[in-house]
Chains A and B, each alone.
Chain A
């Protein structure tokens, strides 16, 4: 059974700071997802990764398959980035979710 661990659980930052959220998993996977969950509860997919690095705007996601580790970076953070960021790994049909990292960015 795959276990997905995220760190930190909570993160506060000042606007403009560079943010890093980490994710580790225990068993080899086919794909890893980064998702964003806002206070209303809706889940939005940010990235799907199987190797290397992806960039979308101020967001960058990397994955190291050998080390079973992924990171999500936010450059020039903004208060609107405040949300819960969730790492999830693909296991057969399903996604196995981490517990999430709650990010608050203050002006």
Chain B
């Protein structure tokens, strides 16, 4: 069964460094998402992406964050200058279409630790 994959599974970085989190969505999916979960808190939406453009973003997704689909398979989340409060589990998700009746499939997550 096709699945969303994410790399790395765990990333440790120093405050102020740039990180890139990578995702490979399911191959025929057109809509891509990033969510994050700070330890002990609920999952929060960051951004949705379709047709090489951001379609929606949350207040969390400020200028420090960017997303890109650099080729036909990868979908990346970049954090330009990490802060301690960026430490979280980051989940990528994809769906075939963007309407409500299409399910979002989640990757296993990347645990980001900022020291």
Contact = CB atoms under 8 A, between A and B. Distances in A.
Contacts, number: 58
A27 interface: no
Interface of B: 31, 33, 35, 37, 41-45, 48, 55-56, 58, 89, 91, 98, 100-101, 103-106, 108-109, 111
B42 A45 contact: no
A41 B42 contact: no
Name the prevailing secondary structure of the A interface residues: strand
Taking residues whose C-beta sits less than 8 angstroms from the other chain, chain A's interface range is 20 to 34
Interface in A87-101: 88, 90, 92-100
Interface in A13-72: 30-31, 33, 35, 40-45, 48, 50
Contacts of A103: none
A43 B45 contact: no
A74 interface: no
A40 B108 CA distance: 9
B56 A97 contact: no
